[in-house]
Structure 1
Amino acid sequence: MSESPNYPQSPAPTSMDQATAPPRPRTIEGAFWAFIVAPVIGLIGGLLILGNRDKIAATLRDADRQRGGTLTDAQIDQTANVTMITAVVIAVLIAALYLLFAFKLRAGRNWARIVLTVLAGLQLFSVLTGESTIGSYLAVLAAVVGVVLSFTGPSNAYIAAVKGRH
């Protein structure tokens, strides 16, 4: 005959946090999804660079010839590979940060909204000052839509309400 030990009972989980959380407005949801779309498009563009290896190598060869042609074909191929890998790694890192900040925005964190605004501004500046693709323009458009939605009245009220809870 074994007796069960008398452990203190833990209180039943409550939904207090859920009950006191302000309802998330559609503008925050829209901003969240816009900030999801922007890095996804960026990732696709980063992965498409893998198909441009020959173009990258040709550009490097042309640049090397203009400077006197000191690089071997092996060095140019290696530089093209490093360039492609670096571009993909940067695209993945930026996408991961965008996703992290998008989820924090969705949770009502004002600092995430500010960081996403700065990132969108840098992305816009990059598109306006460099060579861009249609994907770059679409990613910037999604990010700008996310910024605009995250600063509308309902979004501001939601973020203020979440801030008031903490």
Structure 2
Amino acid sequence: MSESLNYPQSSSSAEPATAPARPGTVEGAFWAFIAAPVIGLIGGLLIFASRDQIAATLRDTNRQRGGNLTDAQIDQAVNVTMITAVVIAVIFAALYVLFAFKLRAGRNWARIVLTVLTALQLLSLLIGQSTIGGYLAVLAAVVGVVLSFTGPSNAYFAAAKAPR
């Protein structure tokens, strides 16, 4: 004898939760967070144009301090440093873009991560030397942070969290 299992049937049809409408402030923050790493990468790639100047400055400094580095060693150090900086910049940019897409999808944690990354980028700018590209990249990221914490953005993140 077979028994059939009777599962309770809901009288109301379960409809999938719809995503809340994305406000312009979140869209603006998204594009600001996309612009920041793009500007930073362009600025970072422009450093290759001044590679010879950097190497010449290191050679002069080496001679003034009585250093024993050869020109080949200085060239190698400049190459390794520049390549390492570009790799780090590309990784940083990829993370920024990933988190920007998560922010656009309504993930509050992405907004917090982007805020922390922007604060670190701003701190780095204040402590070290930077180019006009670095300043523009930080400015774009700060605009993104401000837009992501406005009233409509806060409502969007709260509404996006509710269906999950």
TM score, norm. by length of structure 1: 0.86
1:133 aligns with 2:111: no
| Partner AA of 2:60 in structure 1 | D
Distance in 2, Cα, partners of 1:58 & 1:90 = 24
Structure 2 distance, partners of 1:62, 1:123, is 31
Q: SS of the counterpart of 1:24?
A: coil
CA offset digits 1:46-69 (Å, max 9, x no partner): 111111111221222133224322
Count of matched residue positions in the alignment of Structure 1 and Structure 2: 150
Tell me the residue number matched to 1:31.
Answer: 29
Matching residue within 102, 105, 109 for 2:103? 105
CA root-mean-square deviation: 1.3
In structure 2, C-alpha distance between the alignment counterparts of 1:165 and 1:67, rounded to whole Å: 64
- Aligned partners of 2:116, 2:60: CA distance in 1, in Å? 36
Of 76, 79, 86, the match for 2:77: 79
What is the CA deviation profile of residues 78-102 of structure 1, one whole-angstrom value per residue up to 9, with x for unaligned ones? 1111111111111111110100000
% identity of equivalent residues: 80
The residue identity in structure 2 corresponding to 1:33 is W
Task: Map Cα deviations across residues 135-162 of structure 1 (whole Å, 9 max, x no partner).
Answer: 1111111000000000001111111111
Tell me by how many angstroms 1:112 deviates. 0.6
TM (norm. structure 2) is 0.87
State the distance in 2 between where 1:64 and 1:164 align. Answer: 61
Matches of 1:137 and 1:129 in 2, distance apart?
Answer: 13
Structure 2 unmatched ranges of 5 or more: 1-14
Greater shift, 119-128 or 140-149, is seen at 119-128
Structure-2 residue corresponding to 1:53: 51
Aligned counterpart for 1:42 among listed residues 40, 43, 52: 40
Question: What is the match of residue 123 of structure 1?
Answer: 121
Separation in 1 of the partners of 2:40 and 2:105? Answer: 24
Distance 1:86 1:58 in 2: 20
Q: Indicate which of 111, 114, 121 corresponds to 2:112.
A: 114
Distance in 2 (CA, whole Å) between partners of 1:155 and 1:126 is 27
Aligned letter for 1:114? I
